[in-house]
Structure 1
């Protein structure tokens, strides 16, 4: 039986996971999630062929928190593969100024990463919870953190600075960008699925409940719509996107809101949810007859088109546009609306190809080639984890031979 790597993406009430076998190349062996932790705990997992491996629920008290859920996951993995994986790769949203590449985790690294929790309060604490639990319960199990900020760390300083005194930049107040694991995967796929634009200037739109866009030139990130935190840029399911900083001052001084109340507003009650008053889910908005739903989607499309212009300017032009992530991959109506607003780039959509949502969805004569490319952040995490393990093994061998 081959060695395996477990990939974990933890939220406040769920743990998504995938298991990869290590061979000549990584092979996805199973995927699943434990959801409803503390309320209606439910574990489901399917094999690589889509067949169900487990579908089990527990009383809320039996799986009341993430550590308890991890225990159930460990039990399942031991029953399914007979042993634990050789390593666990984790998605960690914010690496701050310290971490620009995947890293082997220990208590000291986790403590440093906890300092960035205020910059990603929806994600960072939940990402780190399972890591801490496994360090305590399975200290021999190697864990690797893979950062959503890392792919963007090669930006020129002019792209990452805010117009603030230098001391703030030196303290880490800078534009980091997020969804880097998704963009890195797309960049790795471009030579295979879109060789005509792989070495060119590409705008990638990662559109999901969290949404951002990235300028990728010759396979490298050069600009992103997100900045210091995951609030910036595009409007999202519940986050507002780009804001005038004066709004924060107004809410503090004129509306008497506390910092915690403003944080709650910006992370949970804005974006598509705030604009529509209906839902943060694009699927709900697309099927709604309420004019507020249409306005929210029109606003989303409008902002996508505006940021496309910004990213094109960062690259002095654009050769390709890629849709990815849940909304980008599965909402042809929204893709069509975006393409219409990008007609000034001479982007011409092929309606039949767009309806299918596979591969190239622009016409042969379109000056800007447009693609739908499914993302795979979990595979990217598995690749990084394996790479860290191999570097560690090489270092140990070198030490023995010295």
Structure 2
């Protein structure tokens, strides 16, 4: 296969794109991007901007997006125009997409056709903050690259190997068979961490590991021998940890109360739980952990404390699912950059056998615990784009 692979991760107000060489062994270590770009601030009333960096993180392009460019399709067109003007830009051989929800039917990456696109659109109610934008990115890429293969890579697929006992809700069997089950998310990120951890700590990577993907969307996963055992997000990306604007774990009867006693419609409840809760709801200040940490408002400190407590409690639950734990890995925007929060969480996990090395944690070292710590802790930067590129290459090779 010649040319380049483009990966595309379309969110509600952003698009992340990266370019990889198409040649190479898709079963080898994660590939390195030639460049990566992000258009953020997309949408009405926002200040859109496009930034591109090379493999070493050096800026290649940084410019505002105005007018029609400040849309998902316009931003993608601007990025492709920039790419075409570069020497050796080359042909795009395929585009790989992050798709948050694959439902019960999509448990591996697949080439996208009209039938696949229609099936994925039916899952939009299960991931309203993500799926519509993921699919808008697919349609924009289809328009930009007529006839070029498009490949869907699913956040849910990594968790499809979980034991059946961890996939079920205690609901009638017919509902489970109809798809009301625990799916799990952030799978592309977890797969990235598994691959990286296998390189830097190969023996530990084959043991019992808890990965904490902490960001605006947050989840945790119990992994044994590189395979998902249990995770905090379940039927949708709403469940589990407290998040930026999502409530996380919630008694289902609260929804019934809101609808019956407060007269809220299904759309109003959805907006409350997905967009008005979490760190934003508790603090009344912001959904951004950096803003909360800088705030003097007592409610901001309360929101941070709530988030940390939920991580610690779920850490215990996942350790139980693994029947013990040998290593903890932090990733995601908060997990990678929040040294103070990591230290707070690890200190509260001392009962698990974690002895945090505060100096190493604050210095940016990969290992966060002392050499004598029975359970080691690490921080790794997730690389979902590399996983998407690897899956895209595999799908194309399998198709011949």
TM-score normalised by structure 1 residue count: 0.93
Q: Which residue of 2 aligns with 1:29?
A: 34
Q: Residue 225 in 1 paired to residue 232 in 2?
A: yes
Q: Aligned equivalents of 1:83 and 1:140: distance in 2?
A: 16
Residue aligned with 1:359, SS = coil
Q: Which residue of 2 aligns with 1:273?
A: 280
Q: Residue 290 in 1 paired to residue 297 in 2?
A: yes
Residue of structure 2 aligned with 1:211, choices 213, 218, 221: 218
Instruction: List aligned pairs for 1:100-139, cutoff 5 A.
Output: 100-139=107-146
Q: From the superposition, tell whether residues 271 and 38 of structure 1 become closer, same or farther in structure 2 (CA, over 3 Å).
A: closer
Deviations 1:188-240 (A, max 9, x none): 12221123421111111000110000000111000000000000000001101
Q: Residue 175 in 1 paired to residue 156 in 2?
A: no
Judge conservation of contact 2:52–2:62 (CA < 8 Å) in 1. yes
Instruction: List aligned pairs for 1:362-377, cutoff 5 A.
Output: 362-377=369-384
TM-score normalised by structure 2 residue count: 0.94
Judge conservation of contact 1:215–1:311 (CA < 8 Å) in 2. yes
Q: Residue 315 in 1 paired to residue 322 in 2?
A: yes
Q: Which residue of 2 aligns with 1:66?
A: 72
Q: Which residue of 2 aligns with 1:8?
A: 8
Q: How far is 1:78 from its partner?
A: 2.0
CA RMSD in angstroms comes to: 1.7
Q: From the superposition, tell whether residues 344 and 108 of structure 1 become closer, same or farther in structure 2 (CA, over 3 Å).
A: same
Q: Aligned equivalents of 1:143 and 1:2: distance in 2?
A: 16
Q: Which residue of 1 aligns with 2:242?
A: 235
Judge conservation of contact 2:245–2:280 (CA < 8 Å) in 1. yes
Deviates most, 258-267 or 6-15: 6-15
Deviations 1:90-131 (A, max 9, x none): 000000001001101111100000010000000000000121
Q: Residue 76 in 1 paired to residue 82 in 2?
A: yes
Q: Aligned equivalents of 2:65 and 2:372: distance in 1?
A: 56
Count of matched residue pairs: 392
Q: Which residue of 2 aligns with 1:301?
A: 308
Deviations 1:223-266 (A, max 9, x none): 00000000000000110100000000000000001100111111
Which structure's relative contact order is higher, taking Cα pairs within 8 Å and 6+ residues apart?
A: 2
Q: Which residue of 2 aligns with 1:400?
A: none
Q: How far is 1:356 from its partner?
A: 1.8
Judge conservation of contact 1:9–1:91 (CA < 8 Å) in 2. yes
Judge conservation of contact 2:222–2:321 (CA < 8 Å) in 1. yes
Q: How far is 1:56 from its partner?
A: 3.0
Residue aligned with 2:204, SS = coil
Residue aligned with 2:315, SS = helix
Gaps of 5+ in 1: 394-402
Q: Aligned equivalents of 2:378 and 2:135: distance in 1?
A: 34
Gaps of 5+ in 2: 26-30
